Amino acid sequence: MMRVLHLPYNVGSIPSHTVRGLLKNGVEARGIMIGNSIIQSAEELKVINISGRRWSFRWLWTKLIAYYYVLNWIIWADVIHWYFDTKVLPFWLDLKLIEFLNKPGVVEWLGSDIRIPEVEFADNPYYRKIFNEGYEYQSESCYKSRQTQKRFDNAGFIPILSAGMIQYLQKDVFPDFYSVRVRLMLSDFTPFYPDSNELKPLVVHAPSAPIAKGSSFVLNAINRLNMKYDFDFILLQEMPRKKALKIIQKADIFLDQFIIGHYGMATLEAMAYGKPVLCYIKPSLINEFPPDNPIVNANPSNLVEILEPLLRDGKLRHDIGKRSRMYVEKYHDATEISHQLVDIYHEVIKKRKMRSRSL
């Protein structure tokens, strides 16, 4: 049986959903995540929080525990599935060990780890506008992205990318890659479709990164529409993940992000609950997603006009909510996507063996 290790950071709970999808299909999968996962679903993952004051006994002890598990589970694994540009061992010794042991691996980049500002500047005026106005991910740069990609190429990894991330790939570094959609366990999300007869809809927004999410534009739109329509609005701030998800489940409309130009896990979670979601998908990426994509495409310039019909029409909210759940079931089911991942794992194992023979 193939042994797959997922590490080292639980970005958007994707590792947790992925490990569970693989386990459900009989794959021997483990995940070890370093860092605080309180706001994320970490089911079926071993989470080690590096806690305590730096260089204190507690800090050193949790570091040693993390190193122990990472080293032993890397040795255990047949294939490595890495997320984000985050190391566990000093000086990237974890990647060096993977290379030394000749372990095949895939790396899944999910956002600011390889995002290139110049790519966004070219066709995303909203990103260009906020980049120097407090944007939370100032470390993004072409140099950083390229260095990250070279680091994983040197260790023998092959990228896994969703449609929105392919635009940042350095093709001279990685002529080959795999396209895999982000995913979730549908069993975690019982749909609760908006009531067509609801006269006072609940609108929800989660400003996890207010500048990158375009939260100021959301608040401005809400203030303007409050003068014309009767609705409730909740900002999901500083609350446990479970409580936030319960509020999203009760919502009639979910407002995600209006800057980056493609959708991620927050959009998928709301859609899995059967909610109409407003989110900005930039023109250059629209055709990269399936034609039955029900996401209501809005940007900072037209958010008021796009949101207004949904506030007025309960049936429209209900219908888009139904289509949203169907879309996630069709394209983002972790259990189904795990079959694609297994094929990829077999292929990278085969490629590594062929490469070893040729050396």
Which pLDDT tens digit goes with each residue over 75-96? 999 999 999 998 899 999 999 9
Look at residue 240 in the predicted model and tell me its pLDDT: 86
pLDDT reading at 313 higher than 80: yes
Report pLDDT digits (tens) over 10-49: 988 999 999 999 999 999 999 999 875 445 678 899 999 8
Residue 344's closest CA among 27, 97, 12?
A: 27
Asked if 342 and 308 sit in the same domain, the reply is: no
Asked if 49 and 170 sit in the same domain, the reply is: yes
Q: Could you tell me the residue range of the domain that residue 271 belongs to?
A: 186-331
For residue 229, how many other CB atoms are within 10 A of its CB? 14
pLDDT reading at 54 higher than 60: yes
Tokens 């490469």 locate to: 355
Classify 254 as helix, strand or coil: strand
Asked if 61 and 153 sit in the same domain, the reply is: yes
pLDDT reading at 50 higher than 90: no
Look at residue 262 in the predicted model and tell me its pLDDT: 95
Contacts (Cβ under 8 Å, ≥6 apart) of 211? 130, 133, 134, 135, 136, 259
In the chain, beta strands by DSSP E: 3-7, 28-34, 46-48, 79-83, 105-108, 157-161, 178-179, 202-205, 232-235, 253-255, 277-279, 296-297
- Percent of the chain with pLDDT strictly greater than 70: 98
Residue 188's closest CA among 333, 5, 65?
A: 333
Asked if 40 and 165 sit in the same domain, the reply is: yes
The domain total for the chain is 2
Asked if 259 and 272 sit in the same domain, the reply is: yes
CA dihedral 37, 38, 42, 47 (to 10 degrees): 50
Confidence of residue 359 (pLDDT cuts 50, 70, 90): low
CB 189 within 8 A of CB 332: no
Asked if 129 and 176 sit in the same domain, the reply is: yes
CATH number of the domain enclosing 256 = 3.40.50.2000
How large is the average pLDDT for residues 272-281? 98
Look at residue 353 in the predicted model and tell me its pLDDT: 83
Asked if 178 and 111 sit in the same domain, the reply is: yes
Asked if 75 and 154 sit in the same domain, the reply is: yes
Asked if 19 and 166 sit in the same domain, the reply is: yes
Asked if 131 and 215 sit in the same domain, the reply is: no
Asked if 10 and 114 sit in the same domain, the reply is: yes
Asked if 159 and 273 sit in the same domain, the reply is: no
Distance CA 320, CA 192 (A): 12
Look at residue 185 in the predicted model and tell me its pLDDT: 97
